Structure 1
Amino acid sequence: MRPFLSHPFDDDKLKEECGVFGVIGVSDAANFVALGMHALQHRGQEAGGIVSHDPEQGFNSARRFGYVRDNFTDPDTMATLPGALAIGHVRYSTAGSKGSTAIRDVQPFFGEFAMGGAAVAHNGNLTNAAALRRELIERGSIFQSSSDSECIIHLMARSIQKNIPERMKDALRRVEGAFSVVAMTRTKLIGVRDPLGVRPLVIGRIGEGWALSSETCGLDIIGAEFIREVEPGEMVVIDETRGIESFHPFERRAARFCIFEHVYFSRPDSILGGRSVYETRRQIGVELAKEAPVDADLVCPVPDSGTPAAIGFSQQSGIPYAMGIIRNQYMGRTFIEPTEQIRNMGVRLKLNVNRALIKGKRVILVDDSVVRGTTSRKIKDMILDAGAAEVHFRIASPPTAWPCFYGVDTPERGKLLAANMSEDEMRDWIGVDSLRFISLDGLYRAVGEAGGRDPNAPRYCDACFSGDYPVAPSDKIEQGFEMKAAE
């Protein structure tokens, strides 16, 4: 069977790079990791990998293309991953070779050091990876993948520290950008977040063991108790006898968690920063209804990511909520080698309009974002073809006008609709009766910042909306990317 391709009908959405998961102190840890990866599948659907350790058999690994359910539920495969310690990774490529079909790019990455082996799984993006890679190659490192994450292993190999956690501290002090890392040695499970805490990472307790996960939904599936988040700039080192040790190896900085995790990336049943993701998204809809009211007959979500915001919009506006668009739940996010004819069917293979509900109605469509705008145009056409009297778009995020360099697959700036058009121009290009985005202040209010966004000290990374990059993307600047001019 040929490798899976990216879904041809999801190319107008931002995509997370990956999710990470680890377990220590439970029998058959790899089985728990596979469950956690399944819960994090929304963060990456291209490939997955697991590394485990058993005192008798040492380190073992399995890396596969496609869904977790298709690769890590087979008893024969899982039998090759024994031990009470394991980590896993689900991947969607941003750095390195996008859409690469090379198994060498699938994490976790493994390295053998003088004091023993270590495996590393990374969520995020290193903004100085190209410069580091050049330096390491010039000094004799031989890379096996195109992933920026492999730099961490090579930097660890060049450290003179006497144990692996200290070598990891050395390595991560050299990198820039965003990283939530789950790693393992023969006896320890390690979790680290970058000083800004851009990407999430949480700690759970399962029986006498421990778990690390990108999101709390990964803990829920294995029956683990959510203990707390790994703090920005914190390293936790866990072993079965000493429990958790906490270190802060980086200079402390004001946190800038990715605000788009609240809007789209994280599962709605997860908890971020003590807040329900579902409730935050519902509140985004409430704020959107306050900022951009419109007379209409129905509020309809663009499933599934627009659903909580549509519910909030309906509750605030008093306009009835309805499932005007139905998603084909069996479509999935990947498709094997679609023909050109199937590609031309476009979004209709994934979404279908509830014609009996839509005909003659003034419809408000609520979606999470507009990237290129191509999908929005197709959905508008479907709604009008079903006989809608009016179509109004309400978007649960501000205009996406800047690319993300911290672990999200974003088109280059020239391909972002909001980078090239005003809101009115986007409305006309999409062809709807009205188009409104939530304001950046409104989004901040929805995530709990009552005063909106403080322009002098924003609490979140919102670079994709504001152009305010908390870490300069040095590799991209070297390639010609122009930062936003100072106001």
Structure 2
Amino acid sequence: MLDELMGDSLHEECGVFGVYHHEQATKLTYYGIHSLQHRGQESAGIAVSDGKDVRYHRGMGLVTEAFSDHQLDDLPGETAIGHVRYTTAGGSQFQNAQPLVFRYHQGTICLAHNGNITNANQLRQRLEGEGSIFQTTSDTEVVAHLIARSQAKSLEDAVEEALRQVEGAFALLILTKEKLIAALDSHGLRPLSIGRLNGSWVVASETCAFEVIGATYEREVEPGEMVIWDGSGMQSRQFHSEPERRLCTFEYIYFARPDSDLNQANVHLVRKRLGQRLYEEAPVEADVVTGVPDSSISAAIGYAERSGIPYELGLIKNRYVGRTFIQPSQELRARGVRMKLSAVRQVVEGKRVVMIDDSIVRGTTSGRIVRLLREAGAKEVHVRISSPPVAYPCFYGIDTSTREELIAARLSVEEIRQFIGADSLTFLSEEGMLDVIRSVSPAGNGGHCLACFNGDYPTDLGAAPRHPYDEV
């Protein structure tokens, strides 16, 4: 899937990372959130505790833009949390950069959140009616106010009381002067893993962050679980009585880095086997297989291996297009595919090409890439998608369109094929996708959220906004 330059892709909301009790906590957190940069490029932040004081720094842009060596040196401490954010329409503001930091009668509390709270509007209205004053438009602040207003005697009890009131998806890190807390919603919609680094603990949205700092994977945070690290060590408590894992399938298909493991299943191997299954379901006679970089490369390799058709780099991504073009004008958007992607004429000219992509959202980018291959001399272009059609919006922390804008909600597969100009088009079946994911995981991998494919939302959406990212 071509990325945000074309305005026709899914965007992950955030990435979170935390360290407990390590003398290099700040720099480890910097490296951790840098490894999660693919999950958000709008802002980055780190909050650190030395046991007495909490300090923090946040900035707009990439991790390397938000922090300098001097700023990292000004954040001493042994416990830290970090955050990278992809903001939604109308929300790209410094005030929404995380971790959010609040001071209340119990001290300082910092929050870093990945996901989307679907009842944030209702909770916010209630809290404002009770006297709360909000400083941001982020749904994360709702959790902070719920904690601050709790009459519970301990922070853990206050957090548990707050989390029982929120609905939707959240992988949440909370930092105080003395504690680090990690919590996951009752369906485990967003990923969150725990690791060890010598005698220290780390927690991250993806295990690729562990590899960067030399930590070892311990386990997943379980749905409905809250994990607390403090002077007593690590404790766990369940705040939801009926947890049921429904991990977002798009973490495997698109969002997570290929070197990450989700529920003990390696993302690259999942994507590769999705490509293999795709050939089994939709074979075609062709001369070359190519993938749309970067997230579709693994699936393209799998398709080529199973089919015996040679895999080639028929499409090359330009990695140095400035961020100025993330939200271009319509004129630039129309020609932007050539700035971001180019076809290798010597590879595709006169060939029957199988183009592998991970998904089709609005269809405009797929059509431009098909035209790009044809203009480079491809004789035929057969499009194969390593996921089912995306026909429903996500309300759990992924920036998708309203249903009316999703091409698979309006058109049949044949009509989509005509729209993008391909010689043939096939999507992977829902059954095939789930068979692959479950077969790769040694633990069977539990349940998965399929809402964007079939409209079966795992939570009560209540009064969730028509567009999932109308900011509160």
Q: TM-score range by the shorter chain?
A: over 0.9
Q: Percent identity?
A: 47
Equivalent residue runs for 1:55-454 within 5 Å: 55-56=51-52, 58-72=53-67, 74-94=68-88, 98-239=89-230, 241-331=231-321, 335=325, 342-448=332-438
Q: Distance in 2 between matches of 1:320 and 1:472?
A: 46
In structure 1, what residue type is equivalent to 2:228?
A: V
Shift in Å at residue 76 of structure 1?
Answer: 1.1
Q: TM-score, normalised by structure 2?
A: 0.94
* More off after superposition, 161-170 vs 298-307: 161-170
Secondary structure of 2:116's match?
Answer: strand
Q: Distance in 2 between matches of 1:204 and 1:40?
A: 15
Shift in Å at residue 343 of structure 1?
Answer: 4.0
Q: 1:463 to 1:319 in 2, by over 3 A?
A: same
Q: Distance in 2 between matches of 1:375 and 1:337?
A: 14
Shift in Å at residue 472 of structure 1?
Answer: 2.1
Q: 1:8 to 1:286 in 2, by over 3 A?
A: closer
* More off after superposition, 391-400 vs 341-350: 341-350
Whether the 8 Å CA contact 1:53–1:59 is kept in 2: the answer is: yes
Large movers: runs of 4+ above 3 Å: 332-344
RMSD: 1.8
Q: Distance in 2 between matches of 1:270 and 1:333?
A: 26
Identify which of 1, 5, 26 aligns with 2:22. 26
Whether the 8 Å CA contact 1:45–1:334 is kept in 2: the answer is: no
Whether the 8 Å CA contact 1:29–1:86 is kept in 2: the answer is: yes
In structure 2, what residue type is equivalent to 1:278?
A: H
* More off after superposition, 248-257 vs 223-232: 248-257
Q: Distance in 2 between matches of 1:315 and 1:202?
A: 32
Q: Distance in 2 between matches of 1:179 and 1:10?
A: 28
Whether the 8 Å CA contact 1:284–1:309 is kept in 2: the answer is: yes
Partner of 1:485: none
Partner of 1:54: 50
CA-to-partner distance for each residue in 1:297-339, whole Å, 9 max, x for gaps? 0110011111000001011111111110011122366647857
Q: 1:459 to 1:449 in 2, by over 3 A?
A: farther
Whether the 8 Å CA contact 1:152–1:172 is kept in 2: the answer is: yes
The alignment status of 1:42 with 2:38, answered yes or no, reads yes
In structure 2, what residue type is equivalent to 1:260?
A: F
Q: 1:334 to 1:288 in 2, by over 3 A?
A: farther
Secondary structure of 1:447's match?
Answer: helix
Whether the 8 Å CA contact 1:108–1:119 is kept in 2: the answer is: yes
Whether the 8 Å CA contact 1:118–1:164 is kept in 2: the answer is: no
Q: Distance in 1 between matches of 2:274 and 2:331?
A: 38
Whether the 8 Å CA contact 1:237–1:244 is kept in 2: the answer is: yes
Aligned length: 461
Q: Distance in 2 between matches of 1:185 and 1:163?
A: 12
* More off after superposition, 334-343 vs 358-367: 334-343
Secondary structure of 1:475's match?
Answer: coil
Q: Distance in 2 between matches of 1:176 and 1:116?
A: 26
Q: Distance in 2 between matches of 1:223 and 1:14?
A: 30
Q: Distance in 1 between matches of 2:7 and 2:273?
A: 27
Q: 1:480 to 1:45 in 2, by over 3 A?
A: closer
Q: Distance in 2 between matches of 1:300 and 1:136?
A: 52
Whether the 8 Å CA contact 1:195–1:252 is kept in 2: the answer is: yes
Shift in Å at residue 99 of structure 1?
Answer: 4.7
CA-to-partner distance for each residue in 1:244-285, whole Å, 9 max, x for gaps? 101001112321111110101110000011111000000000
Q: 1:332 to 1:266 in 2, by over 3 A?
A: farther
Q: Distance in 1 between matches of 2:360 and 2:113?
A: 27
Whether the 8 Å CA contact 1:45–1:333 is kept in 2: the answer is: no
The alignment status of 1:14 with 2:6, answered yes or no, reads no
In structure 2, what residue type is equivalent to 1:466?
A: N
In structure 2, what residue type is equivalent to 1:407?
A: G
The alignment status of 1:475 with 2:471, answered yes or no, reads no
Q: 1:11 to 1:210 in 2, by over 3 A?
A: same
Partner of 1:459: 447
Whether the 8 Å CA contact 2:318–2:341 is kept in 1: the answer is: yes
CA-to-partner distance for each residue in 1:22-44, whole Å, 9 max, x for gaps? 11111131111111000000110
In structure 1, what residue type is equivalent to 2:78?
A: A
Q: Distance in 1 between matches of 2:384 and 2:137?
A: 39
Secondary structure of 1:48's match?
Answer: strand
Whether the 8 Å CA contact 1:234–1:248 is kept in 2: the answer is: yes
In structure 2, what residue type is equivalent to 1:469?
A: Y
Whether the 8 Å CA contact 1:236–1:246 is kept in 2: the answer is: yes
Shift in Å at residue 111 of structure 1?
Answer: 2.1
In structure 2, what residue type is equivalent to 1:85?
A: T
Secondary structure of 1:369's match?
Answer: coil
User: Which blocks of at least 5 consecutive residues in structure 1 are unaligned?
Assistant: 1-6, 451-457, 482-487
In structure 1, what residue type is equivalent to 2:420?
A: I
Q: Distance in 1 between matches of 2:174 and 2:243?
A: 23
Secondary structure of 2:426's match?
Answer: strand
In structure 2, what residue type is equivalent to 1:461?
A: C
Secondary structure of 1:268's match?
Answer: coil
CA-to-partner distance for each residue in 1:116-140, whole Å, 9 max, x for gaps? 2211111000110111111111111
